[in-house]
Chain A
């Protein structure tokens, strides 16, 4: 589904990402974890066309993504949810979803667009799924942080992207909300490939039904199941600081 090779990007001399290889299958749910500044969001930025890397290749369904514009990549079937919720804060929740709805999106169709009943059904369906059905007439900007996250996920869902890049979906959510989000993501992965970036280990445990990748200082440290990763000494060092390894070095 997604094949990444030799990806390298640096900002003003600082290497932000140096990824030898990375790939996910169709309908896989992959979680990427890693400390701050590990290059997780940068990785997503590259895949969806927001950032241009110095070298490398990113293939989606066999097509090279690098060098394409955001809209093209989105049209190929890559959806993105940002770390900071990016929604249309001046519009109602309903209008947000309407704009997210898959279909022709050129100027003329929008200009002469008439709401079809199946479109409306689809919007209601997704709104129910993410739990925004009672907020359809609310102005999106006035939603709580958690609901904004859901709204953005809903927009990505309505787009029906084959690959969804979800950046920190549970940030700012209560445990109950986070669990609901987790279930939603697991559910999504039945029909879509999903990549999730997350910090909250409890949340990661819930959604890590498949592989977890650990990104540190721009490089892939390890990949494996949640248990494997959790017991990996290197990963522990990274998260708990290098105190352990420093001690070990001192002993030897």
Chain B
């Protein structure tokens, strides 16, 4: 009963109250867009939870995959927003490029862009994961190596020669699929789309973690060697969940793109990935609810504190890291569960 309450509240607030507020003019459209962005980040957090919370692999590349999705969408939007008669994005013109690089070409088509934005991070994660997991590099080593990979990719994306806009990234869009992005109804549509995507992916993850595959993931976290001696090819499972997590993050990134209108390499650095992990840790690792709650709460806090007291944010974030690790091993969701249990037992005693 209590288990379902949180879903009902979530749906009530975000699928009903918010839109009603918007239509009655009580809630400004920018608030909705802000929440739309949070939903995208929550999607990425779900991926982190699958990889880290369930399987116990601490990966520092989640923000990279998120950005790959965003860049894919960004490339499509860049090309579709080119003014009449211009065939190249302006940053390429400035860099004396005369022809569209080959890997940009398919992104001219929306459906190709859609598929590639998910597929490319997926394949990248697959190859990367295969090479790392094959050698049973895990735990801290995995974290450090993926951290190095994230750094390397950040450096590459920041270069002008890689034709991805350098440190300025991709920005300056007016239209998305022919819709004017400044139009409030388009913004509202994107909000609903993000909410739907979050719901669908949550539902998918829910099925996943309750399947035998999902149990196998937890089993790998608990005892990798037992899994091997029980005839499971742990490497395959690890690679599979790494890919799934990457593709989920990419979906988040793709939806994030039209709502922020800018993507830069700064979003994929090591810090960004670690922050995603702390969303999940604070919300409650190993629980899908935890990932969503953590992502929403922390991003809301970020927005509030950076406007009210900008210099305090790093103190708060740092403090949250420490507090979560030391005192909240099961996160907010775990804390709430614990409190509920205590209340229940008190209730039983008095009764």
Contact = CB atoms under 8 A, between A and B. Distances in A.
A41 to B, nearest CB: 13
A-B complex: 5 closest residue pairs judged by Cβ atoms: A113-B212, A70-B228, A88-B219, A110-B213, A88-B222
Given A88-B219, A90-B221, A159 B230 contact: yes
A48 B226 CA distance: 11
Interface in A113-171: 113, 141, 152, 155, 159
A188 to B, nearest CB: 17
Interface stretch (A31-39, A93-101, A218-226): A93-101
Nearest to B286: A90
B222 A87 contact: yes
B237 A99 contact: no
B96 interface: no
Interface in A178-229: none
Interface in B196-238: 211-213, 215-216, 218-219, 221-223, 225-234, 236-237
A107 B233 CA distance: 8
Contact of A71 (B222, B223, B232, B240): B232
Contacts of B218: 88, 90-91, 95
A105 B231 contact: yes
Given A74-B231, A79-B229, A155-B230, A86 B215 contact: no
Interface of A: 48, 50, 69-71, 74-75, 79-80, 82, 86-91, 95-96, 98-100, 102, 105-107, 110-111, 113, 141, 152, 155, 159
A75 B232 CA distance: 9
Contact of A99 (B212, B221, B233, B286): B212
Given A98-B212, A107-B213, A110-B212, A90 B231 contact: no
Interface residues of B, number: 24
B212 A71 contact: no
A79 B228 CA distance: 10
A98 B230 contact: no
B231 A71 contact: yes
Contacts of B212: 98-99, 110-111, 113
Contacts of B227: 99
26 contacts: A69-B228, A70-B229, A71-B231, A74-B228, A75-B231, A88-B222, A88-B226, A89-B222, A89-B223, A90-B221, A96-B219, A99-B212, A99-B216, A99-B230, A100-B230, A105-B230, A105-B231, A105-B232, A105-B233, A107-B213, A107-B236, A110-B237, A111-B211, A113-B211, A113-B213, A159-B230
B240 A107 contact: yes
Given A86-B225, A107-B240, A95 B215 contact: yes
B15 to A, nearest CB: 30
Contacts, number: 86
B118 to A, nearest CB: 18
Given A74-B229, A74-B231, A106-B233, A111 B219 contact: no
Interface in B226-259: 226-234, 236-237, 240
Which of A48, A87, A88, A98 counts the most B-chain CB atoms under 10 A from its CB? Answer: A88
Contacts of A87: 222-223, 226
A95 B230 CA distance: 13
Which of A74, A95, A110, A159 counts the most B-chain CB atoms under 10 A from its CB? Answer: A110
Contact of A80 (B211, B213, B229, B240): B229
Contact of B213 (A86, A111, A159): A111
A163 B281 CA distance: 42
A48 B221 contact: no
A48 B229 CA distance: 8
A107 B229 contact: no
Contacts of B233: 71, 105-107
Which of A69, A70, A113 counts the most B-chain CB atoms under 10 A from its CB? Answer: A70
A229 to B, nearest CB: 29
A79 B226 CA distance: 10
Contacts of A159: 230-231
B204 to A, nearest CB: 12
B211 A110 contact: yes
Contact of B230 (A50, A74, A89, A106): A74
A50 B240 contact: no
Contacts of A152: 226
B216 A110 contact: yes
Contacts of B213: 107, 110-111, 113
Nearest to A78: B229
B225 A70 contact: yes
A70 B136 CA distance: 12
Contacts of B219: 88, 91, 95-96, 99
Contacts of A79: 229
Given A98-B212, A107-B236, A90 B222 contact: yes
